[in-house]
Each structure stands twice: as C-alpha cells, then as structure tokens.
Amino acid sequence: MKELLFGTGGSPHSSKTQSTIDGIRRVAELGLGCMELEFVYGVRMGEAGARLVAETASQEGVKLSAHGPYYINLNAREPEKVIASQERILQTARIGAICGAESIIFHAAFYLGDPPEKTYSVVKKYRENNGIWVRPEVMGKPTQFGTIDEILNLCAELEGVGIGMDFAHWHARSGEANSYPEFTSVLQQIKQRLGDQALNNMHIHVSGIAYGQKGEKKHLNLQESDFNYVELLRALKDFDAKGLLICESPSLEGDALLLQETYNGL
Ligand SMILES: [Zn+2]
C-alpha cells in the first residue's frame, strides 16, 4: 500500500441507500479511501453481486475489506459449530476475493475457560489459502481469543495471515493502551515480529469505546469516549504505517472524516 486510507465499517449513513454499491459511491464522494463490507450477520452476497461490487470499487477508486460473520468460534465445543465457523470464514474469503477485497477480518474464538495456549493450537489448525489476507482480530474482552501476542504468533507461523489491529478493542480489554508510548510500542512489536512489510500493509479498526471490568461494552463516537485517537494517529504517522483504517464508531463517516482530517493535519 502507498498510504494510509480512511474509511467506514459498512456503507456510510449518508449513502443514497444502505446497499454496498451506494456505500462505495458515497465513500468516494466524501473523499474517503476505503470501506469494509460487513458480512457480520452472514455472507448474503452472491458471485454476480460481488463482481458488480468489484467493478464499482475499482471505478470509484475505493479499496475494500470484508468483515466475517459474528457467529464464528473456532474453539466451539460442538464439532458442527466448528465446521460452520470454518465455512463462514471461507465464504467471507471467497466472496470477499470476488469483490476485490484485499483482506478479511473476523473474530476467531472464545477461550470458553480453556488455557489460552490450547485455544491457540485449535485456532491455528484452521488454515485456508485463497490469496486473500486472512486477519484474525485483536479482541476487546478477556474471554475472547485475540491478544496482540496471540495474533502476532499466528501471523508469524501461518502464511497469508495478518493482524486485524483493533486499537479500540485493545484499549477496552485492559483499560490501558491509550497513550502515544503504548501505541508506538504496539507498532514496534508488529515491526519486530513481522517486519516492515506488516506496517506497509496494516488493517486497523478504530472507534470510541465504552468498557468495564469485562472489557468492551459498546462502540462510541470518538469525541464521546476517552480514546486518544490523536496520539494513535501521531504514532501511525511516525511509524509510516500504510493500509486501511476502518472507522467503526456509530457515526461512521463522521468519525472516519475526523480521523482523516486529523491525520492529514499532523
Ligand atoms: Zn470486528
């Protein structure tokens, strides 16, 4: 990637309709650079629709990524749930690839009381190579698989696996990770483990976030939260991080534009 692009998780609220095509057009109109396709309640797009999405995105110059369904737990107790989870990831990757998305992002698993190492080895067994970056996300609750270390270990061990770096989740998980030195230490860790190419091809989620003892509660608009987005953007700029930054605040394009303008003003 040549630069850091800013965009929305799903179609902007101000799109003509909430369709993916209108969403992509609106992203371009707003002067944003990317959009995440939200397959969070299931992949309901067919191949013909996906080809149209790819065409529109390339005409409008908008880069895409795809978020997999929420109903994924690679560490589920029931084998049929594990198989269904694997199929959901695969389907996201297949349709995402036809859409021209460069990455898919998903919530990999819950520990369900297992030791994290055990969950790690279960998640690691799932691999699928279809030419799209597969990015397990850094998660916001201590019951969820997805610390930075866990995801970086997967990336280092498996080809085609990258980090879905959700800075809001990481902050909510512990209440920490909300200052310039903490942000740069995350970026430093990514650089050390995966090299410069990882910083040149980042996938980042940002939003305001409410959290408590059990981690993430819900997403908030940036200015209604304690999330220190200015310092995060400064860290990203200082590390020359490139790739897609997807805003998941309730205001979507409002905060995506705020992030882009703030970043450009630094
Ligand atoms: Zn997510």
What does pTM read for this prediction? 0.96
What pLDDT shows up at residue 129?
61
- Tell me 13's DSSP state: T
Q: 54 CA to middle of ligand 1, Å?
A: 22
Q: 140 CA to middle of ligand 1, Å?
A: 9
What pLDDT shows up at residue 146?
97
What pLDDT shows up at residue 5?
98
Ion ligand 1 — residues with CB < 5 Å: 137
* Separation between Cα atoms, residue 260 and residue 31, nearest integer Å: 10
Per DSSP, which regions of the chain are E strands?
A: 4-9, 34-38, 63-67, 103-106, 133-136, 164-166, 202-206, 208-212, 215-220, 243-247
Q: 137 CA to middle of ligand 1, Å?
A: 6
CA distances for 164 relative to 80, 136, 194, angstroms: 26, 6, 13
Q: 193 CA to middle of ligand 1, Å?
A: 23
Q: 212 CA to middle of ligand 1, Å?
A: 18
Q: 8 CA to middle of ligand 1, Å?
A: 13
Q: 178 CA to middle of ligand 1, Å?
A: 19
* Separation between Cα atoms, residue 162 and residue 79, nearest integer Å: 26
CA distances for 63 relative to 88, 172, 243, 250, angstroms: 22, 28, 10, 21
Tens of each residue's pLDDT in the chain, 266 residues = 899 999 999 999 999 999 999 999 999 999 999 999 999 999 999 999 999 999 999 999 999 999 999 999 999 999 999 999 999 999 999 999 999 999 999 999 999 999 999 999 999 987 666 678 999 999 999 999 999 999 999 999 998 999 999 999 999 999 999 999 999 999 999 999 999 999 999 999 999 999 999 999 999 999 999 999 999 999 999 999 999 999 999 999 999 999 999 999 99
Q: 9 CA to middle of ligand 1, Å?
A: 9
What pLDDT shows up at residue 131?
75
Q: 191 CA to middle of ligand 1, Å?
A: 22
Q: 67 CA to middle of ligand 1, Å?
A: 7
